[in-house]
Structure 1
Amino acid sequence: MKEAICLLTSEKAISVIEEDRFVRSPSLSIRIPSVISVVGYSSFPRKKVAFSKLNVIYRDDMACQYCGRRYSMRELTVDHVIPRSRWESITGKGLTDGFASWKNLVCACRWCNSRKGNRLMKEIGWALLREPFEPEYMPHLVISHDKAEKKGWLPFCSVNVKIIDLIPDGACPPLSHAGARVV
């Protein structure tokens, strides 16, 4: 608490939630802070993002990159843009050289993944919503808006946290035009 008071009095932090009790000195009376926010702090570690199915889905904002609809996690898969059966003939590389990589995997709903099969998108007249890429950064925490609100965390979720809307099973709201949601 001493460090928090020092940060507040030196204006290096702001009080977000305060208790009803006070700390008093001869020249100052301050409500005891429950939560403070350090002003201008931006030293969050930015590690290389681990390559995984889950991170591909998060990178693509839980939206099928073929049809643009958002789905619940259990309705999503990842799809190889260039299929395994065609990789070597198209790229001239072996399966260990870029096949399972950020740039060849996209988030897809089960229906689109099944319809695409082992074909290339140009063969069926499809286009990706966004070219696959290796993300430079992923938030440290992904949390549903409802949970953050119930726990009283919303005021503290502005940095390094991605807030998502839970998608009811069977509901597939379209992705916004820019492909982004309020975070």
Structure 2
Amino acid sequence: MSRRPDLTTTAWKKLRLHVLDRDGWQCTYCGKGIEGFDATVDHIMPFVSEEESNHMHNLISACRSCNSTRQDRILTRMPWFNKRWITGL
């Protein structure tokens, strides 16, 4: 059973593709082009609730390597975080 059942629904799959399309199928963290198994969608703010977490403004494209490195830590606590990424938010 999935740890996050909300991430296995048809609605999530459509949202995931929409986020990947919006971000040009590139990892937001490292800039690498992503496709297939390597293409993941990361929650900017770790899971709080289904209503709050799965919104376009809280989701970004990430390669599997960057997404698994970050895990559920807050983005600004990552050693490779660049404050310029969130300028203007």
Aligned residue for 1:15?
none
Aligned residue for 2:52?
98
Higher relative contact order by CA 8 Å / sep ≥ 6: 1 or 2? 2
Matched, 1:69 2:26: no
Which sections of structure 1, spanning at least 5 residues, go unmatched?
Answer: 1-50, 88-94, 132-183
Map Cα deviations across residues 80-105 of structure 1 (whole Å, 9 max, x no partner).
Answer: 01111xx3xxxxxxx14321000111
How far is the alpha carbon of 1:130 from its aligned partner?
5.8
Aligned length: 72
Query: Between the two proteins, what is the percent identity of the paired residues?
Result: 31
Q: Which residue type is aligned with residue 69 of structure 1?
A: K
Distance 1:105 1:98, change over 3 A: same
TM (norm. structure 1) is: 0.36
Query: Equivalent of 1:123, from 77, 80, 88?
Result: 77
- The structure whose residues are more often helix, as a share, is 2
Distance 1:120 1:76, change over 3 A: same
Matches within 5 A, 1:126-145: 126-127=81-82
Superposition RMSD in Å: 2.2
Distance 1:109 1:78, change over 3 A: same
Matched, 1:111 2:65: yes
Q: Which residue type is aligned with residue 77 of structure 2?
A: E
Output the CA distance in 1 between the equivalents of 2:17 and 2:75: 23
Q: After TM superposition, what 4+ stretches of structure 1 lie above 3 angstroms from structure 2?
A: 127-131
Larger radius of gyration: 1
Matches within 5 A, 1:130-169: none
Aligned residue for 1:55?
18
- The structure whose residues are more often strand, as a share, is 1
